Structure 1
Amino acid sequence: MKKYISAFASALVLISCGKKQNEENKNAEDKSISVIKLTTEQVKNAGLETGNPTLRNIQEVLQLQGTVTVPPKSVVSISIPLGGYVKSTNLIAGMNVQKGQVLAVLEDMQFIELQQDYLMAKEKFELAQNEYKRQKELNTNKASSDKVLEQITTEMRTQRITMSSLEHKLTLLGINPKKLTVSTISNTIKVISPINGLVSKVNVNVGKYVNPTDMLFELIDKKDIVLTLNAFEKDVASLSVGQTVMAFANNSDTKKYPAKIAFINQSLNGDRAAEIICKVNVYNPSLLPGLFINAEVEVGNQKALTIPEDAVVRWQGKFYVFIDIGNNQFQMVEVKSGVKNEGFCQVASNELNNSSKIVVKNAYTLLMSAMNQDEQ
């Protein structure tokens, strides 16, 4: 039993010594990489340059993503009030059309019947109108009874209602009733584009019969596009209507499109994000509906300690700068990296102030030296 107790005690001593040794090695490691000492020649060859942190106005930039979309009022579904057969159409999805352009020609017996009914109603109305004038004159001279005048008045009004109703139906089909005569009756109608836009969908072909409920074409008014961006709930409070947004496509971050926030949806979606609707200042054909878009919004402006971005190095998931402590010695100090703007980076550290002398050029050379010293 004493033998086992002795062995257990020895093991505890070994473990304790091992932990102590590891802590000493770790401390030695941290110490070895915290200060780098170079010769004058090494400093010269490395091209190190030093400078001081500066206080600058830092604008925090919020990154957003979304798509180019078209508001519902700018998406037009083309259909007809009556069914018919497609006689001709040259449209292909992706084509641009002009307002008043013929999209398709449809034909059907119904079109003839409707024009016929209108012309007949028009003739009956004119006949009833003439009879009304005659009966009114006779009634004035007491040569006709009031009852006859009332009957012909009712007939005239009835024919007027019928004619007016058929007139509106013809207008819906794109037929001008004022120009319709017996000689101009046609079995076809033309489907006309109501806007200048892009053809996004074509659902017909020549010979197909379309019903009144069928959508023939879908047109998009591209000039009325908007940017629909997603902002997470933590960022929504930083945004407001009227803020300027700089948008750019995924394949090019150099060409930016200015826009303004028009609406902010206060209801969050399943991803805990709110939709931000932005109107583009100037329409650009490159902004195709459905295009994925990135955007930057400046949401803050405050003074902060900044250094050139090249002065900050990253190692083992943390950010560091090198302070020149004299005699060609440089101390590696951990910092918190913040907003980056115009080549400068916001940093925060208790060991840094605007009078600190830090390496602003070729800082990564010092990091390599620190790693080499650590390996040695």
Structure 2
Amino acid sequence: MKKYMLSIAVMVLLSCGTKEETATEIIKEEGQQTVVELNAAQFKNAGITIGFPVEINMHRTIKVNGVVDVPPQGMVSVSFPLGGYLKSSHLLPGIGVKKGEIIAILEDQSYVQLQQDYLMAKAKMEFLSTDLVRQKELSEQDAASKKTYQHASAEFKTQQVLIRSLEEKLRIVGIDPEKLSVNTISRTISLRSPINGYVTKVNVNIGKYVNPADVLFELVDPDDIHAALTVFEKDIMQIKKGMRASVTLADKPEKKYEVDVILVTRNVDENRGGLVHCHFENANHELLPGMFLNGNFELDYQKTVAVPASAIVRYQSKPYIFIAKDSSRFEMIEVEIGISNQEMIELKGKENIDWKQQKVVLKNAYSLLGKLKNKMEDD
């Protein structure tokens, strides 16, 4: 019996010793994971700055993305109703054009035929007009039958319709019928820009035959260019007409464009986002339809306790900050962050910590994180 009791006592002691040893290792490991200590030389070389979080007013920012868009009335597809061969054009994508400017010259025998038909119809009209007057006088004097007069009148009216339709065909292709004469018949027609804008696409080359349905050029009116931004469902109700935002091209983040909200859609798509249409205040020819945009809406100010962005480090996808335990020891603790801008990040409240009274590392916090990682690897 004594033998058994002795064995149990030994086992209990061994068990307690193991638990105590394990607990010590865990505490030591936790200490290594959260606390870093620097001597005076290391502190100087790290270049860290210590200070207090500050109370400031910050905007809440809504991040958005979208594209440069153009309404239907701002994009023009240029075609030619008669078809023909492209004789010349100086257009290239990006070139600016003015309304009425010659952008291409087309050539075809059908243009000559149209002008010929009009001038011949006009010449015949002069004969029919004279004949109608003569037949009317004869009819009134009973020198000719009324049927002959009626036939002359019908021919005259038919010719009027023909001339009128030919005049409109000429106007469609850019020929002024009032200025057309035997001496001005031409096998070429000048195609003119219908808007002030710039070229986005050129679909033809010199010598190519284009059909009436072919699009030769695509033009854009820069005054109608706008930003179509996608805002998530949870934020869409906070966006109002007249609000301002700044956007950048995805491949040129250094160049900012200011925009004003002109329309907020009242529906949400399958990706739980809604469209916000914005007008560019400083649009230029760099903005082309379809280009991707990133942007920010800044909402009303609110009072926050914040630190510089350089004070926050990320470890295993979580935000941390180093608090000063004393002049040489710094503890890394996980924090909850709130709104942010390019310079400052809000610190949410944390139990037992008054951020305004707590010294933290404000600059070069990542140097401490690096030292902490090295220490963990060495251990």
- Asked if TM exceeds 0.5, the reply is yes
After superposition, the C-alpha distances for 1:229-282 in whole angstroms (9 at most, x for unaligned) are 333334433333332121123344332110123334455556444443322112
Corresponding residue for 2:358?
357
Corresponding residue for 1:297?
297
- Residues 332 and 106 (structure 1), Cα distance of their counterparts in 2 relative to 1, 3 Å cut: closer
Task: Indicate the larger mover: 352-361 or 167-176.
Answer: 352-361
The Cα shift of 1:122 comes to 1.9
Task: Indicate the larger mover: 50-59 or 113-122.
Answer: 50-59
Corresponding residue for 2:7?
none
SS of the counterpart of 1:155?
helix
Opposite residue 59 of structure 1, the aligned amino acid is H
Task: Indicate the larger mover: 356-365 or 56-65.
Answer: 356-365
Corresponding residue for 1:125?
125
Q: So what's the TM-score if we normalise by structure 2?
A: 0.79
Alignment of 1:335 onto 2:328? no
Corresponding residue for 1:205?
205
1:13-32 mapped onto 2 (5 Å cutoff): 22=22, 24-31=24-31
Alignment of 1:233 onto 2:233? yes
Is the 2:309–2:342 contact (alpha carbons within 8 Å) kept by the matching residues of 1?
Answer: no
Is the 2:51–2:362 contact (alpha carbons within 8 Å) kept by the matching residues of 1?
Answer: no
Corresponding residue for 2:172?
172
1:116-195 mapped onto 2 (5 Å cutoff): 116-134=116-134, 150-195=150-195
Is the 1:61–1:300 contact (alpha carbons within 8 Å) kept by the matching residues of 2?
Answer: no
Q: In the aligned structure 1, how far is the partner of 2:49 from the partner of 2:204?
A: 70
Is the 1:91–1:103 contact (alpha carbons within 8 Å) kept by the matching residues of 2?
Answer: yes
The Cα shift of 1:119 comes to 1.7
Q: In the aligned structure 2, how far is the partner of 1:209 from the partner of 1:368?
A: 68
Q: In the aligned structure 2, how far is the partner of 1:258 from the partner of 1:113?
A: 54
Task: Indicate the larger mover: 365-374 or 154-163.
Answer: 365-374
The Cα shift of 1:160 comes to 1.4
Is the 1:338–1:347 contact (alpha carbons within 8 Å) kept by the matching residues of 2?
Answer: yes
Is the 1:118–1:166 contact (alpha carbons within 8 Å) kept by the matching residues of 2?
Answer: yes
- Residues 172 and 21 (structure 1), Cα distance of their counterparts in 2 relative to 1, 3 Å cut: farther
Is the 1:308–1:360 contact (alpha carbons within 8 Å) kept by the matching residues of 2?
Answer: no
Q: In the aligned structure 2, how far is the partner of 1:93 from the partner of 1:304?
A: 49
SS of the counterpart of 1:128?
helix
Corresponding residue for 1:4?
none
SS of the counterpart of 1:56?
strand
Q: In the aligned structure 1, how far is the partner of 2:272 from the partner of 2:14?
A: 53
Is the 1:222–1:289 contact (alpha carbons within 8 Å) kept by the matching residues of 2?
Answer: no
The Cα shift of 1:201 comes to 3.0
Q: In the aligned structure 2, how far is the partner of 1:217 from the partner of 1:226?
A: 21
Aligned-residue CA RMSD (Å): 3.9
Q: In the aligned structure 1, how far is the partner of 2:186 from the partner of 2:240?
A: 57
Opposite residue 339 of structure 1, the aligned amino acid is I
Q: In the aligned structure 1, how far is the partner of 2:15 from the partner of 2:173?
A: 94
Q: In the aligned structure 2, how far is the partner of 1:15 from the partner of 1:257?
A: 69
What percent of counterpart residues are identical? 39
Aligned pair count?
Answer: 367
Opposite residue 203 of structure 1, the aligned amino acid is N
Opposite residue 72 of structure 1, the aligned amino acid is P
